[in-house]
Structure 1
């Protein structure tokens, strides 16, 4: 039931791919970004930071998007990018910190999104949807795939492994020690086999890229209304995705950091918490939850273990069983007065992947008053919530792999 389509990717030439491809623009610290722009003329960051060429810092909106389009055309004119002559699917493998991810890059259908074949697990912001839609309309391309996941499928896996036995079109290692490999699938029989395999998959789940998906769908609808000869097969009716089996996803939790106790003293705050939790003081012993409905907390120089009192909290649906939702309903909203967890400046989120002491250090240095940690959400929890039409709180999951920009580019217009 899921529709995928091969496309003619615009790609860096083999000799320049390691120099061209980049992480997402927003992930670079300013110093690293400036260094890459200054010393690497081939980085895709020149395309998405088009004002650098003229030392212009404040160009925004449509003017910036049109400059992005111009820098993109310059990369094509200089043969940094070339376009495949045959519509293809692409096997992409990333190996990071000993973890291997192997999936398919393809064009996926905006209609599938509207028909709930492609399902979301978090809400998007209308302002960002419209911003990205305007970006796509003015630049005409999509350089970073949406991460979609699907139940493991033997037919898809067999074809992926078949191509991984051959020499890769791309094979390079980046400065963060990640290995990247890409293979082209342009054999009609293999494309047909993969297309059929996904037609038998009932649901695709968005793991990362909700705003990019929604903005692509808004653009498709607008362009369809403007096109009297619309057929549904135009390029704008699809968006580029990386389809990865769910067993290969890595899911991490986000920590919560709070700037004040809503007028309470630490002792008063602990008394309020006692309504919903059995509390154990762990002192300087780092505590990380090992079970659902258990939470770690760092307050005034000490770690605490919080165990939910199930007699004090009612599970009404699958969303109410989610640890991020429990923390919101028992602590953030009623005690700390945080009603809008998406926009309230009192709460900050940080993914818990490598720095186990982050809960402590950000409180000890005075940035925050209290911090909370929890167990990662499982893929089954995500699917259950999504399938029942529920939406998780923001920053519930940090999902890998994170994908690079400009390995393959999908031209929408």
Structure 2
């Protein structure tokens, strides 16, 4: 693979804690406004300018929204809050959240790796979301959100992990705990020998998988293609920024579903329809996640139930492909579509997706009196890679990674 260091733009290390923010696509408008109110230098002011700098009814895709992002970014560079590296570097980025810890290589990846399939995808992208990020990158002159990549470290020889160990053995270049309680540490790699060794080891990888950030990746690649041959473009404008993690270190939580109503069914009729679909129901005294893969828990009308597929249902399914065998795919095919009339979960306004980090109480609150909440078993990293290796696509909202990579730490100039 074509993995390279790059001359990043970044906040001064002493400002990292004030600037670092959750990704733009996992916060609500109110959460973004609250974050900027608490931390005026928060990168969400630049990442979500419509939500944080205009009235609530502002069109988020209006030209003046991107103009504001450009003004704020330029002001941060002009004031010295953001600085440009003089030479290319790698950064080692480690996140620690309780028992979860992951460490990866901040780099740029050649666009050819993406176009030729060495960067493997498992999700479709939507044009409107791509166009939003394209306009944002063009406005600020930089890719500001990294693509979250994973490589199958069990398939590799371990040399890259050994180098990550060595490169992060000293004191970190930046070290802070963010508002969510996640410890973020960055080491900047300056040594020419280590830069070369990291490039060699990462370049020897057979492939990498997009874990999160399909829209960021697709948008950055299209911007790179647009600027191909531009004499004023940055030296590495033919690449996109990513953080490359060993797959074994990643943690995926459930991505749960809430439907606003019971599609005209009474609670008793809903439960009967689920049983007719081939599931046994076991009442739960309190909120509960599924006890094993293949099961779901369902909340409606103030009560929880665990759903288990019967042997007859499993036999009817027959042999399934990598994507169709996912629990979220079975949920869509066997319950959400035929019983709750959710034909296209990407477009139906009746369905809401709730990350497992928010807990089961959030499902109860979202379902309220008339809705239905369904908790899923988490998709595994191995399943994600199997889907991508098969050239298949996952259903929307199949994975919720924790901890989330923070935006606002390093930027890739185009």
Same fold by TM-score, threshold 0.5 exceeded?
Answer: yes
- Within 2, Cα distance between the matches of 1:144 and 1:336? 36
How far apart are the structure 2 equivalents of 1:291 and 1:105? 35
Q: Distance in 1 between matches of 2:130 and 2:304?
A: 39
Determine the C-alpha separation between the residues in 1 that align with 2:34 and 2:349: 31
In 1, Cα distance between equivalents of 2:339 and 2:49: 46
- Call closer, same or farther: CA 1:27–1:346 in 2, change over 3 Å: closer
Q: Answer whether contact 1:89 1:184 (CA < 8 A) is retained.
A: yes
Q: In the alignment, is residue 190 of structure 1 matched against residue 194 of structure 2?
A: yes
Q: TM-score, normalised on structure 1? A: 0.90
Preserved CA contact (<8 Å) 2:280 2:308: yes
C-alpha distance after superposition, 1:62-86 (max 9, x if no partner): 3222332222121111111111111
Alignment correspondent of 2:163 = 159
CA deviations over 1:92-151 (Å, ceiling 9, x no partner): 111112322111100112211111100111111111112211221222112221110012
Distance between the aligned counterparts of 1:186 and 1:369, measured in 2? 55
TM-score of the aligned structures, taking structure 2 as reference length:
0.90
Q: Indicate conservation of the 8 Å contact 2:36/2:52, yes or no.
A: no
| Partner of residue 326 from structure 2, selected from 310, 322, 330 | 322
Contact 2:106 2:244 in 1 (8 A): yes
Tell me the equivalent position of 2:22: 23
Cα separation, 2, equivalents of 1:69 and 1:407: 17
Q: What are the within-5 Å matches in structure 2 for residues 140-219 of structure 1?
A: 140-152=141-153, 153=156, 154-219=158-223
Corresponding residue number in structure 2 for 1:81: 82
**Distance between the aligned counterparts of 1:264 and 1:54, measured in 2?**
43
**Secondary structure of the corresponding residue to residue 321 of structure 1:** coil
Aligned 8 A contact 1:118 1:204 in 2:
yes
Q: CA RMSD in A?
A: 2.6
Q: Does 1:273 align with 2:277?
A: no
1:291 and 2:292 correspond = yes
Aligned residue for 1:288, secondary structure, equals coil
Q: Aligned pair in 2 of structure 1 residues 331, 129: CA closer, same or farther (>3 Å)?
A: same
Q: Which runs of 5+ in 1 are unaligned?
A: none
Map 1:1-150 onto structure 2 (within 5 A): 2-25=1-24, 27=26, 33-34=32-33, 36-38=35-37, 40-48=39-47, 58=58, 60-150=61-151
Q: What is aligned with 1:393? A: 395
- Paired with 2:30 and 2:374, the residues of 1 have a C-alpha distance of 30
SS in 2 for 1:132: helix
Contact preservation (8 Å) 2:97, 2:183: yes
The farther-off stretch of 138-147 and 382-391 is 138-147
Give the CA deviation at 1:346: 1.6
The worse-fitting range, judged by mean Cα deviation, of 280-289 and 244-253 is 280-289
CA distance, structure 2, for counterparts of residue 3 and residue 296 of structure 1: 44
Runs of 4+ in 1 over 4 A off after TM superposition: 25-36, 38-41, 49-57, 228-231
**Most deviating of 352-361 and 66-75:** 352-361
Measured against aligned partners, the alpha-carbon deviations of 1:278-300 in whole angstroms (never above 9, x if no partner) come to 32331424342232221111232
